[in-house]
Structure 1
């Protein structure tokens, strides 16, 4: 039964991502907004819902100790595996606005998070409010960019407004359901194999909550929506920190383990690495994708052995 639920969950992820990308792309064409903006906002927020629901709900009851681990682990996975796998399947050119603006913001918010948790070993309410203020500024910047860069209608198929919303809502629901089924099923299998709860949390849960980003970006890349694909991964990273951790820590301070502090600085290095790579060459080739995934495998081995 567990295997059946695992397979069904994967099917929900794949089909949900397909509907979500189709609806989001259609909305972008109707609003004459670049797909990269949709990727950085609607898609990024939608695929971050699993992390948001877990962390914010935990914050409401004052039990959010794993929020930092989940977000940092998911961001590392997004940068190395989501971007890397998308490039392996369909090489793409990085959107110039993402390189110029969002990858730099990704480095900035990752650095701020690392500094906050290093100073006193936790995220307090005041630091959470600072992150929320950054969220307001970031969303305002994206809205201004969208208004300044309206695009002309193309010949691609555009769904009706109603069907676009239906695809987005049903797609998000299927992605969340699929992610939960995959995480729960994989966790049960791992426990049956005798793996520890800590190892399961650092690997299966962190990767599992990032499956929506992975499937959505892969589907977007295959449909030729590279801006939406990369925007989803980078946008999710930024929102995970300034939205999820901001709201969670504003509700209840979040304690950081020593491992969280180390991983937060590893995240800063990885964020700087992808920015440096993009400045050298804006093409994400298959070789670069393989390198990104290989780096994640090394990181995975490190967290298993430590």
Structure 2
């Protein structure tokens, strides 16, 4: 038991550190190759924050742990909205841009609904490889649209901090980052599966709680830093963007590798995912202006604690 917990902790640390190295090296290399900063921010950096979830899900799918893979995506989406936005809104109300209100948040809601539709299609209870590739196509369209809008100046982006590494150092960081992601992801998945088996806990619960929370910690840190700097609007952009990445890219890649089984219990999680996404959209309009207020943040946190409690008790 203790060894599995050590594997989990070591996996988390190596995974996050590897993702940071990959982002730093990739951003520096892209800058050396004259790629515009706005493109780097919307691709290299955005991908970097989702690589922990992606690597964990790829390894889980290869090893046949579909419950862990699905639980990680759904748990991450739920944690992002209820916990990250909840905590951030307690620090400072979160202002929401028009494009986020009418494009990104509705797209996140549609993505959540789409998972439920796919899970109840033919064959029922399975997200097939073909459906996985379909999700990846949606992701490609989303990235193309985002880049198009950004390059036309229709979307503001967070300032990208690019370190002036040499080509050799950039390449080294990329390789070390990839190695860290693979090694950390392997430790994390193996530790989680073994811990679930020894403790008699389902892989679904492990994915919805320990794994999803751990892989979402970078987004939590980014959002809290943004709130402290009075840039809380960045937080909701990170959260909604991460949820879209999780659904289209990570779930799509997972199903593309190996079809994902959706159990009856997982259907409940799908509805929770839809519910919190819809609630986020509603909260945008319940206060003055387009923002998430402190009381709404407190409600999000209360709902998340209740959800976790019900998971553990059940």
Above 0.5 in TM-score? yes
Q: Name which of structure 1's ranges 221-230 and 44-53 shifts more when overlaid on structure 2.
A: 221-230
Whole-Å Cα distance in 2 between the matches of residues 122 and 155 of structure 1?
41
Name the counterpart of 2:99: 97
1:242 aligns with 2:248: yes
1:302 aligns with 2:310: yes
1:293 corresponds, among 295, 298, 301, to 301
Cα shift at 1:63: 4.0
CA-based RMSD of the aligned residues comes to 4.4
Cα shift at 1:184: 9.4
Offset from partner CA, 1:212-243 (integer Å, 9 cap, x none): 22122222332344343222211111111111
Name the counterpart of 1:139: 143
Unpaired segments ≥5 residues, structure 2: none
Distance 1:151 1:67, change over 3 A: closer
- In the TM superposition, 1:1-306 aligns within 5 A as 31=36, 33=38, 38=41, 41-119=43-121, 120-149=124-153, 160=164, 196=201, 199-280=205-286, 281-306=289-314
Unpaired segments ≥5 residues, structure 1: none
Distance 1:287 1:20, change over 3 A: farther
Q: Is the CA contact 1:132–1:242 (under 8 Å) kept in the aligned structure 2? A: yes
Offset from partner CA, 1:191-217 (integer Å, 9 cap, x none): 99x684555444222322222221222
- Give the TM-score of the pair, scaled to structure 1: 0.75
Q: Is the CA contact 1:12–1:175 (under 8 Å) kept in the aligned structure 2? A: yes
- Give the TM-score of the pair, scaled to structure 2: 0.74
Whole-Å Cα distance in 2 between the matches of residues 54 and 298 of structure 1?
26
Q: Is the CA contact 2:67–2:207 (under 8 Å) kept in the aligned structure 1? A: no
Cα shift at 1:141: 0.8
